[in-house]
Homo-oligomer: A and B are copies of this chain.
Amino acid sequence: MIDHDAFPIEPWRIRETRLDLDLLAQSESIFALSNGHIGLRGNLDEGEPHGLPGTYLNSFYETRALPYAETGFGYPEAGQTIVDITNGKLLRLLVDDEPFDIRYGELIDHERVLDLRAGILTRVAQWRSPAGKQVKITSTRLVSLTQRSVAAIEYVVEAVDEFSLVTVQSELVANEDQPEMSSDPRVAAGLDHPLEAVSHEHTEHSGLLVHQTRNSGLMMAAAMDHEVEVPGRVEVTTEARADVARTTVICGLRPGQKLRIVKYLAYGWSSLRSRPALRDQVAGALAGARYSGWQGLLDAQRAYLDEFWDAADVEVWGDPDRQQAVRFGLFHVLQASARAERRAIGGKGLTGTGYDGHAFWDTEGFVLPVLTYTKPHAAADALRWRAATLDLAKDRAEQLGLAGASFPWRTIRGEECSAYWPAATAAWHINADIAMAYERYRLVAGDDSLERECGLSVLVETARLWISLGHHDRHGVWHLDGVTGPDEYTALASDNVFTNLMAALNLRVAADACRRHPDGAAAIGVTTEETAAWRDAAAAVHIPFDRELGVHSQSEGFTSLAEWDFTENTNYPLLLHEHYVRLYPAQVLKQADLVLAMHWQSHAFTAEQKAHNVDYYERRTTRDSSLSACTQAVLCAEVGHLELAHDYAYEAALIDLRDLHHNTRDGLHMASLAGAWIALVAGFGGLRDDEGVLTLDPHLPDGIDRLRFRLRWSEFRLTVDATHAEVIYSLRDGPHSHLTIRHAGAELTVSTQEPTTVAVHVRKPLLPAPSQPPGREPIRRRLGSDVTS
């Protein structure tokens, strides 16, 4: 838990006012900078102390054997683990003969600021060395959103009270030592010195190292160059060895004098290109960075972000906590995806090694909805990445004796990397989640060029998978047995409602896409008989409903399972204290499952069913998954439990800023950060799109006075500005002058000419707000006023 004092709430900045070594690893994740290609954890410039040193390149991984004490057919043999690559962040400082290390001497002042509009991390430290010399260090770090291969650091040292001899060692270091790994299954596998040196070179001001992974055979290059400004004499030298390149800058500073170093960094990797090609690539990137110069990089960064915020910002009046958090979330979602460019968006982005750097359904299920409405270009790139792995997914399906394509539960490059199949291979829904993401992109972008380019084959092959997975019973009802839905405390169930609805969606969307692209469909062998079979299965899908209780059964028989024996002493997360053999056959949920179905397939449920289902599942959901709170917020808002929804929105938004799941050290929870947006926009804004229509229905909780958010829809930009009384829709751009949306269940045409103001449709809850398992009431309630704002 990170408390408020060290991180005061400000609308556009994350500011740390003092350095707490116990929170160092968490702050490294929070202050991570990335553009989706390069990721730099917020490690201190001088390298030590650190929680987890981390520098990453998207999809630069090492393979490792996955061990099984008892193996089985089709278990993946090789895992993929993100590699801590050559660290270019390092700038070690010596003041006279003493190294700047905040654990020694006196740290007079230390502040770090992540500026969400500037896209930079700034650090100011005032330090007195053990020998009594005082210096002020100001460093500013960026990972360029406009120059994909470039990062840069401006490092300024100022002598405060007396003359000091100052030495800065600016380094590239490969194969950094890693801290010991935990036994928590959610943490990454450790890799010991994964990089083999290929070559190294240097000039007076610059250095370049090329390395290669042992097993995956990927080659990477890292290069640095420096601009040095200082009054008086300065000596700059560079040396390079296999795993280290070091530029040393020495000068003397009188009080008030400053040494300013701009360190330009360039990174590149390839599985194909030669060492000289890669070497030239990073040298070229470095030249581009020097050409832009430090100020040029800063300006471009600001311009890029200004454009982003103009179309993506969410404004929250009356709730500064959530205001800060939703922007923090949007910023990191952007960082994870902006320049990923047909590479995976990992569950932690490029902020840490948690989950081995793997991408899950989090991407299509939680991150892409946000990007599709706010940065559609990045969403399209992520979908192109999935499509690029289609052949691997088809191979996997074939290995499993199935038709079509089976996308991996967790992966970096596209191969299945999960070693626990009941919560992975059996979680077939990821295939439908991907299909839904394509369909949403088509709707929101308002054109089907991406579908034509690559979506069609993904939709067709996933539809084929579903047909080979499902079967009609003797009464003609279509079933999916032995599946695991989103809730990982139940596995291998029959007719999971979420999975069945999503599979039906996938089948229908694929059939529709084939109708739109008859030639493309014919080219991959789709016949009208095949699409008819898809529609038939979708129409016959079984949706378990418990008539006695009047609620949907998450999966067949779920509502007849034993209740979990929650007590005041129950320890969470349950997965670290209970065996799956106990969790699976009990009515206990790790995360929203049926409730998620009611969000993503809203039209399949009546208002009354939603109210009763929320009531039923709320009481049984532990929220042990970080994916859960935002969905609970959305549905609680829909059924009128607005205060409860507000609490859940808090959890989704603050997960990393407050380290609510105690694992922010391993990296940020991208899906939950996206969930901060989802909780506000889909929850209090009422955004739905499952019927192909932009649907909104704003309704605010007491704690939020006004909510204003921006959406893209078919080349329009729409601003939604809601108070407790009314909603103002403002339309910009667009292919036409009018757009018909659905507001509070009724059609509403809005115009680019002038804003449209309508009344809030007040929703009354059908049932009283439900309780949660003991100890799992929303965290804001448990903590009381110290975290409310």
The reply to whether A584 and B492 contact each other, CB–CB distance below 8 Å, is: yes
Q: A69-B420, A70-B419 are in contact. List 12 more A-B contacts (CB 8 A).
A: A69-B189, A70-B185, A70-B420, A71-B185, A72-B420, A72-B579, A74-B579, A401-B582, A422-B492, A473-B560, A474-B548, A491-B492
Contact A68-B67, Cβ < 8 Å, known A425-B581, A585-B494: yes
**A481 vs B558: C-alpha distance in the bound complex, in angstroms?**
10
Chain A 560-571 interface mask (CB, 8 Å, partner B; 1/0): 111100000000
**B471 near A562 (CB under 8 angstroms)?**
yes
Residues of A within 8 A of B (CB): 66-74, 79, 183, 185, 189, 399-402, 418-422, 425-426, 470-471, 473-474, 479, 481-483, 491-492, 494, 548, 556-557, 560-563, 575-582, 584-586
CB contact between A482 and one of B560, B575, B584 (< 8 Å): that residue:
B584
Ordered by A's residue number, 19 sampled pairs between the chains whose C-beta atoms are within 8 Å are A67-B69, A68-B419, A70-B419, A71-B185, A72-B185, A72-B420, A73-B577, A73-B579, A400-B579, A422-B492, A471-B562, A474-B548, A474-B560, A482-B581, A482-B585, A483-B585, A492-B584, A492-B585, A494-B557
The contact of A73 among B492, B560, B575, by CB within 8 Å, is B575
Q: Do the beta carbons of A79 and B73 come within 8 Å of each other?
A: no
User: Which secondary structure characterizes the binding site on chain A?
Assistant: loop
In the complex, residue of chain B having the shortest beta-carbon distance to the beta carbon of A477: B560
A576 proximity list for chain B (CB < 8 A): 73
Complex CA distance for A586 and B494, rounded to whole angstroms = 11
Min distance, Cβ A562 to any Cβ of chain B, angstroms:
4
Q: Roughly how many angstroms separate A424 CA and B420 CA in the complex, as a whole number?
A: 15
Q: Which residue of B lies closest to A399 (CB)?
A: B579
**A548 contacts across to B, CB distance below 8 A:** 474
Q: How many angstroms from the CA of A418 to the CA of B579 in the assembled complex?
A: 14
Instruction: Please state if B185 and A580 are interface contacts (CB–CB under 8 Å).
Output: no
The chain B residue with its CB closest to the CB of A75 is B579
A619 to B: closest C-beta gap in Å: 16
Q: Is the Cβ of A421 less than 8 Å from the Cβ of B581? A: yes
Q: Closest Cβ of chain B: how far from A583's Cβ, in Å?
A: 9
Is B425 a contact of A561 with CB atoms below 8 Å?
no
Query: CA–CA, A394 to B172, complex, Å?
Result: 56
Looking across the interface, which residue of chain B has its beta carbon closest to that of A73? B579
A481-B575 contact given A183-B71, A582-B401, CB 8 Å threshold: no
In angstroms, Cα B398 to Cα A579, docked, is 11
Give Cα A211 to B420, complex, Å.
39
Question: Considering the chains assembled together, what is the distance between the CA atoms of A494 and B555 in angstroms?
Answer: 13
Residue in chain B with minimal CB distance to A421 = B581
Contact, CB under 8 Å: B585 / A481: yes
Residue of B with least CB distance to A479: B560
Closest B residue, CB atoms, query A471: B562
Contacts of A401 in B (CB 8 A): 578-579, 582
A578 partner residues in chain B, CB cutoff 8 A: 73-74, 401
> Which 3 residue pairs spanning A and B have beta carbons closest together?
A482-B585, A69-B419, A481-B585
In whole angstroms, how far apart are the Cα atoms of A492 and B68 in the complex?
Answer: 20
CB A393 to nearest CB in B, in angstroms, measures 15
**Cα distance A400–B563 in the bound complex, in angstroms:** 16
- Across the interface, which residues of B come within 8 angstroms of A579, CB to CB? 72-74, 399-401, 421, 425
Provide the bound-state CA to CA distance between A471 and B585, in Å: 11
Q: Which residues of B contact A577 (CB under 8 A)?
A: 73
Nearest neighbor of A76 in chain B, beta-carbon distance: B69
A189 and B70 CA atoms in complex are apart in Å by: 10
Contact with A72, one of B79, B492, B563, B575 (Cβ below 8 angstroms): B575
- Cβ–Cβ contact B70 & A69, under 8 A: no
A69-B72 in contact (CB<8A): no
**Closest B residue, CB atoms, query A402:** B582
Cα A69 to Cα B423 with chains together (Å): 13
Asked whether, in the complex, the Cβ of A580 is within 8 Å of the Cβ of B72, the reply is: yes
* A69 neighbours in B (Cβ, 8 Å): 66-68, 79, 189, 419-420
When chains A and B are docked, how far (Å) is the Cα of A653 from the Cα of B425? 39
Which residues of B sit under 8 angstroms from A481, Cβ to Cβ?
A: 557, 561-562, 585-586
Collect the chain B residues with CB atoms within 8 Å of residue A491's CB: 492
Nearest-neighbour CB distance to chain B for A246, whole angstroms, equals 38
A72 to B581, CA, bound (A): 11
Query: Quick one: which of B421, B473, B556, B563 contacts A580, CB cutoff 8 A?
Result: B421
A700 shortest CB reach to chain B, Å? 39
Contacts of A422 in B (CB 8 A): 422, 492
For residue A78, give the distance in angstroms from its CB to the closest CB of chain B.
10
Neighbouring B residues of A66 by C-beta, 8 Å? 69
- Find the B residue at minimum CB distance from A79: B69
A183 cross-chain contacts in B, Cβ below 8 A: 71
- Whose C-beta in chain B lies nearest to the C-beta of A561? B481
Looking at the complex, which one of B189, B419, B426 makes contact with A581 (CB distance below 8 Å)? B426
Q: Which residues of B contact A420 (CB under 8 A)?
A: 69-70, 72
The CA-CA distance from A685 to B72 in the complex, in Å, is 39
Query: In this complex, what residue of B is CB-closest to A482?
Result: B585
Alpha-carbon gap, A426 to B418, bound state (A) = 21
CA distance A492 to B561 in the complex (A): 13
Bound form: Cα–Cα A419–B422 in Å: 14
Residues of B within 8 A of A470 (CB): 562
Contact assessment for B581 and A400 in the assembled complex, using a CB-CB cutoff below 8 Å? yes
Q: Name the residue on B nearest A427 (C-beta).
A: B581
Q: Which B residue's beta carbon lies closest to that of A400?
A: B579
CB-defined contacts of A70 to chain B, threshold 8 Å: 185, 418-420
Rounded to whole Å, the gap between the CB of A430 and the closest CB of chain B is 13
CB nearest to A425 among chain B residues: B581
| Alpha-carbon gap, A491 to B481, bound state (A) | 12
CA distance A740 to B402 in the complex (A): 58
A29 to chain B, nearest CB (A): 22
CB distance from A192 to the nearest CB of B (A): 17
A488–B473 Cα distance when bound, in Å, is 23
For A557, what are the chain B residues with a Cβ–Cβ distance below 8 Å? 481, 494, 556-557
**A214 smallest CB distance to B (angstroms):** 19
Query: Hey, which chain B residues are within 8 Å of A585, CB to CB?
Result: 481-483, 492, 494
* A585 nearest CB neighbor, chain B only: B482
Q: For the complex formed, measure the closest distance between the CB of A470 and the CB atoms of chain B, giving whole angstroms.
A: 8
